[in-house]
Structure 1
């Protein structure tokens, strides 16, 4: 008697959940809906795809969504999409996180009227943390648990403040998309922050022993060490110091370019001899315009990596690059510099009537402030004990 061909058992969500993780990506074909596949990657992501040929005979793969949408919904969506592919019609359907984030970045960050000054940092957080984790996933499939998992990873590798910055980008994208989709609910909720703004406010400055330790290591630490010394000697923000160009230096004056929508800028600064000596010690490259040259034609970057290496050689507890700026401001007060002049050196906007009507550039006063700062740093580096090497230019 002939044996009947049995119809394969219908694939279930439990079957999909039990599919093993292998070293190489592979696909499992649905036994119920022709053209429907479940793709399993080595990192455990399981995704529904459907495949068919369009009117030109080209094989088309269409991503339906992560396995969380369920096999029943995937089959229903596959029937619609497969019909559209075969007929050459618009498939519509889910969009990837990268596709949505690209739209948000173009309309929200790069918008000509808005053009956020933080655009470069936003792009960096997207490319470094968010898109590697979610770029190919359905935007609407990202849930609270996925956000929490991402923030855990960022907090573990880059710290709680970085995690909060990633969260702010995710929140902005989600809120933007929610204004364009009637059914979308943002996965970002209260309580997801990994640090409190009040706790992040710092008053940390380096003491004299720490200044000596940092300076000594900075003298032996190449480009990053030069950056550290210039940051302390000029009291400028790290982005300004890192992006200093050779063309910005005229004799001993640093012409600090103003950026679009920038609130405050120190303008022209006459630098002390110690700072000029650090600058002149840097190598000039014909293909790179920056004093602190980075890879290719860019400037020094990767501050967290540079500081991590630096910290392995000099043990100072809980200090940040921004502490150098705060330390320089405090040293100027210690050296007798007037508070309003010190604030102008930092590029802080003056408030009230003085900020509105006083258009004097204070170039000589700022030069005196930086000279006083360098002089005090030199005295700190050359204490009476004679056990610490003096800073060049201050013997």
Structure 2
């Protein structure tokens, strides 16, 4: 059935009030006074569509082509699109062919954006690394918002430098260099796969020197006591105090303890498998009684013996909310210090606990070689085939001395408290 025709200057209000024709199969056509051939078509079902009626290149008679449905495209945008089509037609070009070409170019461009390359990098490379969460967090927070939508073939060194400037201003030079390292790795990974891509990352972009980046932070006794006191009242997951304690008592790195699984423990020995240890070798840690007590019991209802010791999901997944918990802990420490009229505690990280524990071992008169082995370092001269149980008793003694010293620090004898093996949590 032919459409009923009207010709008016279309407005948003007018279009919204247009009603469907009563007759079945009928259509209402309202032409716009501002743009020739442009208008809105309303079906008997109430569907409203912006349309351009004109003679397109290669056609003998005029025809209507849909510009977009009302609600999916604004009136002003639809009108501008109609003007653009009329201009192309005047130049002898078919709007459909032009838009298809633009769409193909955009699809090709989207496949080469920094975001797309980072997606592939994370999936095929970073996902296999223990540091995956750190890499993805840095990329998501600092790289994607700044250059994510840019094609890697259009990316300039200037954009990398400006991005690093922004990271340095927001999070400091060390974080800027970490972001740079992740970006350099991702771009080098892409370069190995792409004959046409040349990484814009060059020497001289780093903000610090390696020696300057190396942290030397060792917690004082007062700071250790402040952390333990704050852990008792901080708004953190129930597993977090045990987790922080384990970091200090075993001198492990953040993810090594976070991913601790009951299947890795036999008696008082915790074996961290080489696939998730930094030097790629199995690392055996004799757990002191205090450290062993931190493991707890198998979550109720959990089947098997592969539950994660530190978990907020009843052992199904390892603890991962590091940042949020650390913020809550730092806030509680600041509150305690302020209440006692003491200065704010200098910035510290969970990894500082590992360095602190190593220092405490020296303080407890643990021989240097034994302390280094307890820390998981391979001593120069050790035979190529590494015996993971070598110096086991020496390491057991080292970890026990560490636990005893931590106990004395947390509750000094001067407090009239009898020291006990392990740590307070």
The TM tier, using the shorter chain, reads 0.5 to 0.7
TM-score (norm 2): 0.63
Q: Secondary structure at the match of 2:185?
A: helix
Report if aligned partners of 2:261, 2:309 keep a CA contact under 8 Å in 1: yes
> For residues 236 and 187 of structure 1, do their structure 2 counterparts lie closer, same or farther at Cα, with a shift above 3 Å needed?
same
Matched, 1:242 2:258: yes
Report if aligned partners of 2:361, 2:371 keep a CA contact under 8 Å in 1: yes
Which residue is equivalent to 2:327? 308
Output the aligned Cα RMSD.
4.0
Shift of 1:147: 2.6
> For residues 156 and 241 of structure 1, do their structure 2 counterparts lie closer, same or farther at Cα, with a shift above 3 Å needed?
farther
Report if aligned partners of 2:251, 2:353 keep a CA contact under 8 Å in 1: yes
CA distance, structure 2, for counterparts of residue 261 and residue 393 of structure 1: 24
CA distance, structure 2, for counterparts of residue 269 and residue 246 of structure 1: 14
CA distance, structure 1, for counterparts of residue 402 and residue 248 of structure 2: 9
> For residues 159 and 291 of structure 1, do their structure 2 counterparts lie closer, same or farther at Cα, with a shift above 3 Å needed?
farther
Q: Secondary structure at the match of 1:204?
A: coil
Matched, 1:327 2:344: no
Report the more deviating stretch, 299-308 or 283-292: 283-292
CA distance, structure 1, for counterparts of residue 279 and residue 371 of structure 2: 17
Q: Which has the larger radius of gyration?
A: 2
CA distance, structure 1, for counterparts of residue 254 and residue 419 of structure 2: 25
TM-score (norm 1): 0.68
Shift of 1:132: 4.7
Which residue is equivalent to 2:384? 356
CA distance, structure 2, for counterparts of residue 158 and residue 250 of structure 1: 42
Report the more deviating stretch, 275-284 or 189-198: 275-284
Unaligned runs of 5+ in 1: 8-24, 37-50, 55-78
Which residue is equivalent to 1:280? 296
User: Which digits, 9 at most, give the CA deviation of each residue in 1:291-338, with x for residues without a partner?
Assistant: 110458321223233222211121421322111111111111111111
CA distance, structure 1, for counterparts of residue 301 and residue 157 of structure 2: 48
User: Which digits, 9 at most, give the CA deviation of each residue in 1:24-46, with x for residues without a partner?
Assistant: x989657986499xxxxxxxxxx
CA distance, structure 1, for counterparts of residue 277 and residue 353 of structure 2: 25
Which residue is equivalent to 1:223? 239
Report if aligned partners of 1:235, 1:346 keep a CA contact under 8 Å in 2: yes
CA distance, structure 2, for counterparts of residue 382 and residue 220 of structure 1: 17
> For residues 284 and 391 of structure 1, do their structure 2 counterparts lie closer, same or farther at Cα, with a shift above 3 Å needed?
farther
Which residue is equivalent to 1:257? 273
> For residues 34 and 216 of structure 1, do their structure 2 counterparts lie closer, same or farther at Cα, with a shift above 3 Å needed?
same
Shift of 1:144: 3.5
Report if aligned partners of 2:364, 2:405 keep a CA contact under 8 Å in 1: yes
User: Which digits, 9 at most, give the CA deviation of each residue in 1:127-151, with x for residues without a partner?
Assistant: 4443354444433333344334433
Matched, 1:299 2:318: yes
Report the more deviating stretch, 161-170 or 115-124: 115-124
Q: Secondary structure at the match of 2:347?
A: coil
Which residue is equivalent to 1:200? 213
> For residues 298 and 126 of structure 1, do their structure 2 counterparts lie closer, same or farther at Cα, with a shift above 3 Å needed?
farther
User: Which digits, 9 at most, give the CA deviation of each residue in 1:264-313, with x for residues without a partner?
Assistant: 55633221122223322896673882111045832122323322221112
Which residue is equivalent to 1:342? 371
Q: Secondary structure at the match of 2:270?
A: strand
CA distance, structure 2, for counterparts of residue 35 and residue 249 of structure 1: 74
Report if aligned partners of 1:284, 1:291 keep a CA contact under 8 Å in 2: no
Q: Secondary structure at the match of 1:140?
A: coil
Shift of 1:238: 1.4
